Amino acid sequence: MAEVEKRTAVVVVGAGVAGLTVGNLLRRNGVDCIILERRSREHVEARQRAGTLDTRGVRLFREWGLAEVLDAGPTTEVEGSFFIDGHAMPIEVDEDDNESIFIPQQFLVRRLADIFLREGGEIRYQADVEPSGIAGASPAVRYRDSTGATVVLHCDYVAGCDGDRGATRGSIPAGVLTRYAYEFKYSWLSVLAAVPGKTSGMAIHTRGLAGLIPRGAENSRIYLQCPVGDTVAQWPDKRVWDELEARVGQSLGRGEILSKEVVALRGVVHEPMHHGRVYLLGDAAHIVPPMSAKGIHLALFDAETFAKAVIAQVRDGDPSLLDSYSDTCLGHVWNYQAFATWITDLMHNAGDPSSEGEFRKQVARAELRRQFESEAANRVFSELTSGTA
């Protein structure tokens, strides 16, 4: 079958939060782009992941005229709780500075795609992107569409928004990027259950950390700390509920379990976040442990930084923001890795002493008490119980 050749200013690989945000910001500012997504639209818009958007994310969408993505759909009033050894901790927060909202990630993705398509944008779903050649001197992204036809998209820039296992990062020659990674000494069993999202709680307990976070009006996600190497088969449904209730100290409601997986907790950063005309954004460049709930925050930060940089280049011929893209993002990323590592170890060490021992547990408890007495930290814990910090 003959190849079709096309041209656009920016090829965005991946239609997740980062890719769709970049696409919208660019198009609204007169920069032509095409988004390529490996999966079907149905798959992408059903994928359950994060459940909240933090204050910075909310403000970003408002500032760029995209406030309509913030409609959280049919949510209910959510009550946040924080338990230590089965006792509820008081959390009082100055809500004036906290605009974070509950919004399942798939709602956000659906709305961003709706707006992009409504405004004439082009998303090629089920596009099988070939990694070779992406990172060449004159960038081009070759993909096979769902009919089997091969399309070559020539462009000025490639935005690699295709997650940790995408094609873009893999197209950068070996030796250019350095991968920094840290593996935590515990994992999470992540469970999606049909429990109406009315309660949001985190629990610290000797048996391990537990969390119940709303994912829309009908479902909740349960997180249970478990040893590295545990498998789903070791966690029958009854054990999930019994363990959640033992760690929280009360029942937060039971329901049908819809899915279960064991999630490794890790922090990863790839440096630099660009090579030639290929730029990495979101999970393609870095991963933060889910305890910090900062994955979306970082994806949006990269998307905004990249979009501003491309707009400055295209509108004003100013390359400086593109030149500094990697440094700008990495400064922010490492700050959030610091926060994510601190909060993840603090929350786990304060409960289960099996990985770091009783001494570190007491140190973590002292740190927690100090945090609960501080107003700023109270806000961190309040936001954590809503799945964001």
Ligand X SMILES: Cc1cc2nc3c(=O)[nH]c(=O)nc-3n(C[C@H](O)[C@H](O)[C@H](O)COP(=O)(O)OP(=O)(O)OC[C@H]3O[C@@H](n4cnc5c(N)ncnc54)[C@H](O)[C@@H]3O)c2cc1C
Helices 295-316 and 55-63: crossing angle in degrees, nearest 10, is 30
**Residue span binding ligand X (CB under 6 A) among the ranges 82-90, 243-251, 287-295, 309-317:** 287-295
Alpha-carbon Rg for the chain, nearest whole angstrom, is: 21
**Selected binder of ligand X within 104, 163, 197, 351 (CB under 6 A):** 163
C-alpha distances (whole Å) from 157 to each of 122, 258, 268, 317, 318 are: 16, 40, 24, 14, 15
Which residue in the block uniquely carries the two structure tokens 């509950």? 102
**Cα(201)–Cα(197) distance, rounded to whole angstroms?**
11
Total of chain residues touching ligand X, rule CB under 6 A:
33
Q: Which residues of 57-67 are buried (b: 16+ CB within 10 A; e: fewer)?
A: bbebbeebebe
Residue whose CB is less far from ligand X, 257 or 361: 257
Phi, psi of 255 (to 5 degrees): -165, -175
129 near ligand X (CB under 6 A): yes
161 near ligand X (CB under 6 A): yes
**Cα(208)–Cα(231) distance, rounded to whole angstroms?**
16
Q: DSSP readout, 14-61?
A: --SHHHHHHHHHHHTTT--EEEE-SS-HHHHHH-----EE-HHHHHHH
CB of 312 to ligand X, least distance (A): 22
**Selected binder of ligand X within 12, 17, 307, 347 (CB under 6 A):** 17
CB of 164 to ligand X, least distance (A): 7
Residue whose CB is less far from ligand X, 17 or 209: 17
18 near ligand X (CB under 6 A): yes
**Selected binder of ligand X within 160, 289, 290, 351 (CB under 6 A):** 290
Residue whose CB is less far from ligand X, 131 or 253: 131
Token pair listed for 129: 């992107």
**Selected binder of ligand X within 13, 69, 123, 158 (CB under 6 A):** 13
Token pair listed for 195: 């429990």
Q: DSSP readout, 326-340?
A: HHHHHHHHHHHHHHH
Residue 192: strand, helix, or coil: strand
282 near ligand X (CB under 6 A): yes
**Residue span binding ligand X (CB under 6 A) among the ranges 13-21, 113-121, 239-247, 327-335:** 13-21
365 near ligand X (CB under 6 A): no
121 near ligand X (CB under 6 A): no
Which residues in 28-57 contact ligand X (CB under 6 A)? 36-39, 44, 49-51
C-alpha distances (whole Å) from 150 to each of 129, 142, 144, 255 are: 10, 7, 4, 46
Residue whose CB is less far from ligand X, 100 or 361: 100
Which residues in 53-112 contact ligand X (CB under 6 A)? 105
Closest CA to 56 of 351, 359, 303: 303
Which residues in 178-197 contact ligand X (CB under 6 A)? 190
CB of 213 to ligand X, least distance (A): 7
**Cα(305)–Cα(375) distance, rounded to whole angstroms?**
30
CB of 286 to ligand X, least distance (A): 9
**Cα(193)–Cα(195) distance, rounded to whole angstroms?**
6
Under 8 Å between Cβ of 91 and 385: yes
14 near ligand X (CB under 6 A): yes
Residue whose CB is less far from ligand X, 79 or 316: 79
**Selected binder of ligand X within 23, 121, 160, 166 (CB under 6 A):** 166
Token pair listed for 194: 């049909």
CB of 151 to ligand X, least distance (A): 13
Residues that bind ligand X (CB under 6 A): 13-19, 36-39, 44, 49-51, 105, 129, 161-163, 166-167, 190, 282-283, 290, 293-297, 299, 387
